[in-house]
Every structure is written in C-alpha cells, then in structure tokens.
Amino acid sequence: MRKNITGNKIREEFIEFFKEKGHTFVPSSSLVPGGDQTLLFTNAGMVQFKDVFLGTDDRPYKRAVNSQKCMRVSGKHNDLDDVGRDDYHHTFFEMLGNWSFGDYYKKEAISWAWEILTEVWGLEKSKIWVTCFKDEKGEIPTDEEAAENWKKQPGIDFDHIVFFGREDNFWEMAETGPCGPSSEIHIDRGEEYCDKREDPGHNCHVNGDCHRFLELWNLVFIQYNRMGPNKLEQLPACHVDTGLGFERIVSVIQNVDSNYRTDLLMPLMDVVMDISGQTEEEREKHFTPYRVIADHCRAASFLIADGVVPGNVGRNYICRMIIRRAARFGSKIGLEDPFLGQIARKVIGLYGKAYPELKKNHKTIIDNLTREEKKFQSTVEGGLSILGTYINSMVESEKKVLRGDLAFDLYATHGLPLEITKDVLEENGFDVDQKSFYESMEKHRLSSGAGKEFGPLGGEDAEFYFGIASALIEEKLIKKDGITADPYSSLLISTEVVSLIKDVAQISSISEGDEAEIVTRDTNFYIESGGQVSDKGFIETENGENIFIVRDVRKPAPGIIVHIGEMKSGKLQVGQKVNVKVDKKRRQDIKRNHTATHLLQAELRKILGEHVRQAGSSVAPNRLRFDFTHPDPVTSNQLEEIEKQVNNAILGNSILIISHKKLDQALSEGATALFGEKYSEEVRTIAIGEGVPYSYELCGGTHVSETSEIGTFIITSEGSAAAGIRRIEAVTGRKAYEIIHKRLSNIKETANELECSIDDLHSSVNKLLTEKQGLLDQVAKLSKAQALNDYQKAKEEISYIREIPTLKMQFSDLSLNCMREIADEFRKDFSGGTAVLSNIVDNDKIQLIVAVSDELIKKGFHAGKIAKNIAKDIGGNGGGRPQLAQAGGKEIEKLDDVLNKLDKYIKKE
Ligand SMILES: [Zn+2]
Ligand SMILES: [Zn+2]
C-alpha cells in the first residue's frame, strides 16, 4: 500500500485515472442544490446529474468523473448527533464518483474499480469483499451479470463475492423513476477493528454491526424505470452511478484507524492543539472537542464559500449552529478568544487547490466565522447559566427531559441553538423534548405573523422587529401588508419618521454620527429582489439641514422596512416630517442594466436557441450579470452578434409597457417566467415594444421608459457559472462610455508612442513584431555561434572520469536544437566519450542533454539511464536513447553539486 500518499494526491489520481478512461471532469456543484427545492444541501455526487437520469437534461459528455462536496446535517441523513463522538461521521464530506450516461456498463465499471483500488492504490486483494443484488422476494432478477464480472477480476477471492437484498443492494431515486441493483466494495480492516469482540454472540461480517468491515464504494447500475410498486420496465439505455467515500478511502490507504487521523483532518487538529497549548496526550484525552472543531470548521468554511453565511433560517441557520457548536466545544478545551479563523486558514490551504472557491472567498470565510464567534460569546454565558439553573431544578425534581418551550426560549432570547442545548443536557445525563421545541417555534412563528416569508426558524433579531412591526401596525403608522409607496415612479416622497432603531433598541432621536435604522410611514426605495440590488439615497428634513445617508434597505419582518445608514448632519426624531430621496443617478444606472438584461435574454434565445433559460441574474448600478442554461461556451462570433442585436434593439427606441394581470393570463400570452419560481396570483409584466413585443417577462424590477435611455451595451465577459450554465457580464450607459473612453485613450496613447495614426496602428504593430522576430533569429544565431565556439575551447580542456573523456558545459537560455548540435559534434570528435550539457531556462528550470559515444555504448553505457539518474537529483524526469537523452528539473540550486559529482552518474547500468 502507498501509505505516504497525501489525500490531495489520492483525489487527483482518481480524477486522472478516469480522465484517461475517457471521462470528462465535472467540477463539484455547489453545496446549495440549484433548482432542487426538496433538498437543503447537496448530499451525494448524483444530485447534479439527477436531471440526466430522469431524461430531462442532456450533457455534452457520456462519461463523467467528479469529487463532490456533500453535507449531511438535516433531514433523513442527519449524522450530527454522531459527529465528533466517533471516528467516521462528518457533517461535510467528499464523494468521488465516475458516471456513465447510457455509455459503458457493469463490465467496465467493475474492472476499473478493481484496477484503481488494487493496481493504482495497492489495496490487498485478499481483504476486498464485494456485494451483489439478490432479491429476497424473488421478484427482480438476481444480478448475475455483476457477479460474473467480479469473478473475472485478477486475484479476487470468489468466496468474497456475496449477495444481499433490497435494503443493501437495490437503489431507487424515489417511489417511481430510475432504479437498479448496486454492487458495493467493502474492505476487511482486520479483527483488531472489531468493536464487538467482547460480545459473545457476535461474529464479524460484511454489512454487519461492527467496525471491521468498511464499505468503501457503491456502484449503482441504473437499468430499470419503476412505474409502480410492482412494475419495473427495462430502460432503453443503462447508466452507471458510483460513489466512493473519500475520507474512508484515504484512511484505508494511509492505514490509520480513523478518518480524523488522515491528513485531511489531522492538520486542522494540529492547529487546534497549537492554539490551545495542549500536549498530544491531552489531545488524545479530549479527542471529541478536537473532532467537532475540525469537522464543523471545515464544513462552515465550505458553506460560506458557497454563499451560505450564518443566519436564522434554513441553510443559514445550519451554518450558524455548527459555528456556535464548534465555539462551545472550543471553550471546553480552554479556547476563549475567537479561534476558528485560524483553523479556517488551514482548511483553505489544504483544500484550496481542489476547491478554488475557498481561496476566492478567503476573507469572507474568516470574517464571517470570527463575527459569528464574537456574537455567540456575547450571549452564550447568559444562556448557559440559565440552562444550568434548569438542570439544577431537574435534578431536584428528578426529571430527565427539559421542556421544549424552555429550550426554545433559550434559542429565541439567548442564541443557544437546540443542538447545543442538547449537547449540554446529554453531557449531564439529560435530554430535551424536541417535539415540543418545534411546536413552540411554530406557535411563535404564527403569533408573530411571520408566515411563509420567514421560513422554519425564528431568531433573536427577527423577534425584535416583529415587536416593532405589530406595534406600528396597531397604531396604524404602517400598513399591515407592507405595501408602501410605488418605488418605481417617484424618486422623492414626503412622509414621516415612525421609528428609530440603534443597537437593536428603539430610541426617540438620533444625531450626527449615529449608525441607525429608520422606519418611515412610506418608502419609495427598492428592496433587493429578483436579482436587482437595493436602492441607496437620503432621508432629510425639508430645509435640508438634517441629513441621513441610506446605505441599504431591508425587510426584517412582514410589514416593516428599515433604512440602514448614518446620520450625516443634524438630528432626526420620531414623528418628524421628512423627504425620502432615492439616489437618482444610481437608480438610473440600475434601470438601464435591468432593461438591458431583458433585451439580452431575448437575443440569447433568438441566437442560441429556445433552450436558453435564465438560471440567475444580478442587476447592479455598475454592471449586469446573467446566468443561463446552455451546454457550450458562446463563441466570439455569437457574442459579437448578440451585442450587435441588443444595441440595435436599444436604438430601435421601443417603449416599455408595464401591466398588472393574472398569472394565468400572462403565461398564456407567452410571458417568460423564471423556472421553479413561485409567483402570486397577480403578477407584474414588462413588455418591450408595442404589438408583438420584442421581450415579454414577469418582473418586479425597475426599468427605463424607452430603450434608447440605455445608451450603449457592451459585453465584458462570458464564462462558465456551473455545469451546463454560462454567465455573461455586461455594462451599459455611463459605465459603457467609461470603458469605451478608456480603451480609446489606450489606443491613442499607443499610436502616439508608435508615432503613427490610429488607422495605421495595426500595420505598425505587425511591422514591429516582424522586426522583433528578425532580431530574435539573429540573437539565436549569435548565441549558437558563441556556444559552438565555447565547445571548441572546452574540448581542448576536457576532463576524464575513470579514463572516459567527459565534457561538461553550462549554458543559459540556449535552444535545445543548438545543444543537440553540440552533442552531435562531440560524438563525432570523441568516439569513446560522454557529454553532459546543462542549460538554465528563464532562471527557473534546468534542461539537460546527455550524449554517449558509440564505443562507450558497446561497453554498456546508456545516455537515457544517466539522464534519468541525474534528473532524480534535480527534482525532475529524464530519459532517452542510448546515444542521446534529455532531462529536466526544477531544483537549480542542486545543479552545481550534480555537475561536480558526475562520476556518480557516468557508469554502466
Ligand atoms: Zn466484529
Ligand atoms: Zn426583470
């Protein structure tokens, strides 16, 4: 076994192995499943290929390989309770997989799995066990095909091919749909891994209940379509879907007894040990906190990199909960100051190459972790001491289970997630009533009027805003449904301050320098939605003396909209009359970009095809971004055509018609709706152009009144956003002018430097390039003449190694051809000699030529072997024919040493 191979290398070798077998590498999809509302997190490699198996999507490849980021922390696969307490469970983990979409089948899948496990990674064949499907009900045929293929693998023990029923070896996506038998690969880790040895009735076996046999890899063969409980149809094309647990295979190859002792997680625990100042013995004693911190911090870093920051609802809640749980386990080993940022740095270093999103979001990850840790520290003490009093009274009253409403109160007012309350209780031998916890939460949600918008979980901030909202609604200061002034028509409205908020408390006035939030009776500000960013602007008194700068707006609870910002001058108090002013220039920029996004979508469908579907968009003042489904990169010709046609549409000066109508009607008129988006009964539609509109979409955003307001439209980039999804970025109006101006100035300046007119620029540059090539040729000629001249001198002073004339020359930036020419000369001049020519290229790598003359070859010398041995000592590779060979290397500092000890290399093999 190759025990010293790193986890990163194992991942790389898996991908390379299948790439060599014709697979396309498909990057891991996000932990947030796109378009799949039924799933909180991506929990298996197949999530991003689900549509292909269902036949609703097509991919430009038939074979794929990937390493998928997965999270299992809620729902059916909830491992959280076990994470940290044993050596195998994780919240975040990686799944390696190879995929065939109607291409290869069992024969290839099985032999490749065997090959990489036993040949590439050197697993002992006698330790491998495999399982195949045999229906215990006798309804579905036994998978003899898989078993037969296993028998063909060199060195497999036939007794290790065993059959299991539906529970273990039949895979189904759902009640109906694609399904098929699976074949699992297990490894026997040896008797010492059995944790049930004390148990007299126990015997170890595959799919048993001890830790001796470890399931590594599941090969699923999708060959049926389930039409009903008792009806299977053969699929016209069979698929392969495999999943190899990455942490597990690394623990087996590195021969350690725990996933946490692999180099995927151990380095994180080393950092924890450094920060805590504990010794290795102490770490072994407190291994649970170490495991929890390493696991949770790795998971949180990956989540934040995928845009899931700590918060109160859904995925964001999970992110918050695991950070807080890690922080509390940290306090158990004496870590009081924020420490997760330091561990996250290690996570980014360790995983950043395979998952570049970590590097890209480096700062966001560290900032969010640290902020959340601080937030938790400021409330946790209060919460834990209250929990302590609950525990004391449970001891007194001899109760074992904490009431759910008390646990909910700990969360809602002290920020203690249920999971932490449960940890603390369990550590003291108690439990919590989870059912009544969720009932309390539901009751709270309904009484606060949160409704659907607020999601499944409440939180400390939200409760505060509900309080304000209900009071203001009661006093009829704001409207219950939250409908306020039309944000699309007027950029200035006169209204009244109804609430001022500072540091999560209502106050009666704010003055210069205060960071605060303002609620007004009405607002004309646009709040971020549908990809369009929020407005910015001002709230000021009529005389213009008291000015509040609005940086952001948000809706923290139904009915209430807060303007967030800073009091620039003067003061404001509750009840004061004010003007609410949207930043006009900025709003205009946003409008131009939003309308241009609609034109872009219309052109994409015309030019690329009707399959183009919006997959996300972002409309900001300085640019627009549009993601859409399309299998291939958009060619530069297509991009040019799209840009041209959008500009034509702008110049066509169509008017925009905005109407409100019933959803059914809009859809039947052909309006474009977002796939998977839920719309209300009545919708707003945007038509560009009268009669048959140029573009017709459901949209709530702000738009120009006539397309010519957009000015110019320029595409600034096109690239891949995810598998099968392309991204176009573009600019309009003022930003487009800025870019044109900048590019033109660059061109003008270049023309000035070349002393030609802009029109002659192209031919001037061409001329320069030709001249440059001429000079390069001349330099090459001169350096070659110089080198040959040097050779003539060197050969006069040739040295001998064991009586063999040995030429040693060093060059820099000489062409390989020229070196070969010298080698040929040498072989002619010395019939029984050898030459080692070295050349340093660009100051950072070494090229070597080794030549051996014919007579010496007859005596058993071989240039290829000499080159290979030298290469090893300069960090590279080498080889070639007996008479002439080449080598390369990176360790320039070792070159002198090697050249001084040529006698070590010039010898017979
Ligand atoms: Zn056992
Ligand atoms: Zn829109």
CA 622 to ligand 1 center in whole angstroms: 63
**Gap between the Cα atoms of 319 and 805, Å rounded:** 70
For 752-786, the pLDDT digits (tens) are: 999 999 999 999 999 999 999 999 999 989 988 99
Both tokens assigned to 272:
């924890």
CA 245 to ligand 1 center in whole angstroms: 21
CA 627 to ligand 2 center in whole angstroms: 13
Which pLDDT score is estimated for 54?
A: 72
Least confident among 18-22, 99-103, 481-485, 522-526: 481-485
CA 38 to ligand 2 center in whole angstroms: 26
Res. 80 pLDDT band, cuts 50 70 90 = confident
Which pLDDT score is estimated for 450?
A: 38
CA 194 to ligand 1 center in whole angstroms: 4
Residue that is written with structure tokens 């939180």 in the block: 459
For 86-130, the pLDDT digits (tens) are: 888 899 999 999 999 999 999 999 999 999 999 999 999 999 999
Both tokens assigned to 178:
């694609």
Both tokens assigned to 71:
């999270």
Which pLDDT score is estimated for 451?
A: 34
Least confident among 227-241, 270-284, 466-480: 466-480
Paired with 832 in beta bridges are none
> Who has greater pLDDT, 47 or 260?
260
CA 425 to ligand 2 center in whole angstroms: 50
> Who has greater pLDDT, 344 or 47?
344
Q: Which listed ligand is nearest to 699 at the C-alpha?
A: 2
Helices (H), 671-760: 733-753
Residue 447 clears pLDDT 70, i.e. is over it: no
Name residues whose C-beta falls within 8 Å of residue 818's C-beta, 6 or more positions apart in sequence: 780, 783, 784, 787
Q: Which listed ligand is nearest to 189 at the C-alpha?
A: 1
**Gap between the Cα atoms of 376 and 414, Å rounded:** 9
Name residues whose C-beta falls within 8 Å of residue 558's C-beta, 6 or more positions apart in sequence: 449, 450, 451, 453, 454, 469, 482
Name residues whose C-beta falls within 8 Å of residue 600's C-beta, 6 or more positions apart in sequence: 624, 626, 642, 646, 713, 728, 730
Residue 719 clears pLDDT 60, i.e. is over it: yes
CA 872 to ligand 2 center in whole angstroms: 60
Helix, strand, coil percentages in the chain from 3-state DSSP, rounded to 5: 45, 25, 30
CA 485 to ligand 2 center in whole angstroms: 20
CA 605 to ligand 2 center in whole angstroms: 16
- Within a 10 A sphere around the Cβ of 588, how many other Cβ atoms? 17
For 784-804, the pLDDT digits (tens) are: 899 999 999 998 989 898 889
Q: Which listed ligand is nearest to 195 at the C-alpha?
A: 1
Q: Which listed ligand is nearest to 673 at the C-alpha?
A: 2
Residue that is written with structure tokens 């009091």 in the block: 567
Both tokens assigned to 10:
């194992």
Q: Quickly list DSSP for 91-140.
A: SEEEEEEEEEESS--HHHHHHHHHIIIIIIS---GGGEEEEEE--TTS-S
Q: Which listed ligand is nearest to 687 at the C-alpha?
A: 2
- The CA dihedral of 259, 265, 269, 272, to the nearest 10 degrees, is -140
Q: Which amino acid is at 451?
A: G
Q: Which listed ligand is nearest to 204 at the C-alpha?
A: 1
Least confident among 87-101, 165-179, 307-321, 469-483: 469-483
For 821-880, the pLDDT digits (tens) are: 999 999 999 989 999 999 999 888 999 999 999 999 999 899 999 999 999 999 999 989
- The CA dihedral of 414, 416, 422, 427, to the nearest 10 degrees, is -90
CA 675 to ligand 2 center in whole angstroms: 14
Residue 607 clears pLDDT 60, i.e. is over it: yes
CA 247 to ligand 1 center in whole angstroms: 21
For 199-241, the pLDDT digits (tens) are: 888 999 999 989 999 999 999 999 988 877 778 888 878 999 9
> Who has greater pLDDT, 360 or 146?
146
**Angle ∠(338,342,347) on CA atoms, nearest 5:** 130
Among residues 326, 328, 331, 332, which one has the least CA distance to residue 344?
326
Residue 455 clears pLDDT 70, i.e. is over it: no
For 176-198, the pLDDT digits (tens) are: 778 999 999 999 999 999 988 88
Both tokens assigned to 506:
């209502």
Name residues whose C-beta falls within 8 Å of residue 891's C-beta, 6 or more positions apart in sequence: 846, 874, 875, 876
Both tokens assigned to 247:
């942490």
Give SS3 for 284.
Answer: helix
**Gap between the Cα atoms of 247 and 242, Å rounded:** 16
Which pLDDT score is estimated for 457?
A: 35
Which pLDDT score is estimated for 548?
A: 97
Which pLDDT score is estimated for 456?
A: 32
Q: Which listed ligand is nearest to 593 at the C-alpha?
A: 2
Residue 462 clears pLDDT 50, i.e. is over it: yes
Which pLDDT score is estimated for 621?
A: 95
CA 530 to ligand 2 center in whole angstroms: 7
**Angle ∠(529,555,378) on CA atoms, nearest 5:** 120
Res. 464 pLDDT band, cuts 50 70 90 = confident
- Within a 10 A sphere around the Cβ of 352, how many other Cβ atoms? 15
Phi, psi dihedral angles at 734 (to 5 degrees): -60, -40
**Gap between the Cα atoms of 165 and 135, Å rounded:** 5
**Gap between the Cα atoms of 877 and 886, Å rounded:** 9
User: Taking the model in full, what pTM does it have?
Assistant: 0.54
Looking at residues 657-679, what average pLDDT do you find? 80
Both tokens assigned to 34:
């796109």
User: 78: phi > 0 → left, psi -120 to 50 → alpha, else beta; which?
Assistant: beta
CA 249 to ligand 1 center in whole angstroms: 20
**Angle ∠(135,141,147) on CA atoms, nearest 5:** 85
CA 661 to ligand 1 center in whole angstroms: 67
Which pLDDT score is estimated for 263?
A: 96
**Gap between the Cα atoms of 670 and 618, Å rounded:** 23
Which pLDDT score is estimated for 725?
A: 80
Res. 51 pLDDT band, cuts 50 70 90 = confident
CA 209 to ligand 1 center in whole angstroms: 7
Q: Would you say 887 and 878 are in contact if contact means Cβ atoms under 8 Å apart?
A: yes
Query: In terms of residues, how long is the chain?
Result: 909
- The CA dihedral of 556, 559, 565, 567, to the nearest 10 degrees, is -140
Which pLDDT score is estimated for 613?
A: 82
- Within a 10 A sphere around the Cβ of 110, how many other Cβ atoms? 27
Both tokens assigned to 329:
């386990």
**Gap between the Cα atoms of 553 and 565, Å rounded:** 9
Name residues whose C-beta falls within 8 Å of residue 736's C-beta, 6 or more positions apart in sequence: 711, 712, 713, 714
| Distance spanning both ends of the chain, measured CA to CA | 29
Which pLDDT score is estimated for 58?
A: 76
> How much of the chain exceeds pLDDT 90, in percent?
58
Q: Would you say 196 and 209 are in contact if contact means Cβ atoms under 8 Å apart?
A: yes
**Gap between the Cα atoms of 578 and 499, Å rounded:** 13
Which pLDDT score is estimated for 38?
A: 55
Q: Would you say 273 and 335 are in contact if contact means Cβ atoms under 8 Å apart?
A: no
Both tokens assigned to 233:
């149809």
Across 693-833, the runs of DSSP E, i.e. the strands, are 695-698, 713-722, 725-732, 799-801, 804-812
Both tokens assigned to 379:
């409330």
CA 549 to ligand 2 center in whole angstroms: 27
Mean pLDDT, all residues of the chain? 88
> Who has greater pLDDT, 417 or 173?
417
> Who has greater pLDDT, 393 or 107?
107
**Angle ∠(345,349,350) on CA atoms, nearest 5:** 115
Question: Which residues are close to ligand 2, an ion, with C-beta < 5 A?
Answer: 699, 701
Radius of gyration (Cα) for the chain, nearest Å?
35
Residue 341 clears pLDDT 90, i.e. is over it: yes
CA 201 to ligand 1 center in whole angstroms: 10
- Within a 10 A sphere around the Cβ of 485, how many other Cβ atoms? 16
> How much of the chain exceeds pLDDT 70, in percent?
94
**Gap between the Cα atoms of 581 and 569, Å rounded:** 16
Least confident among 245-249, 594-598, 754-758: 754-758
**Gap between the Cα atoms of 63 and 52, Å rounded:** 12
**Gap between the Cα atoms of 441 and 284, Å rounded:** 39
Which pLDDT score is estimated for 678?
A: 54
Q: Which listed ligand is nearest to 201 at the C-alpha?
A: 1
Among residues 530, 504, 533, 531, which one has the least CA distance to residue 517?
504
Looking at residues 882-889, what average pLDDT do you find? 92
Among residues 685, 701, 691, which one has the least CA distance to residue 596?
701
CA 683 to ligand 2 center in whole angstroms: 12
For 619-634, the pLDDT digits (tens) are: 999 999 999 888 889 9
CA 487 to ligand 2 center in whole angstroms: 15
Which pLDDT score is estimated for 284?
A: 92
Which pLDDT score is estimated for 448?
A: 46
Paired with 162 in beta bridges are 131
Which pLDDT score is estimated for 653?
A: 93
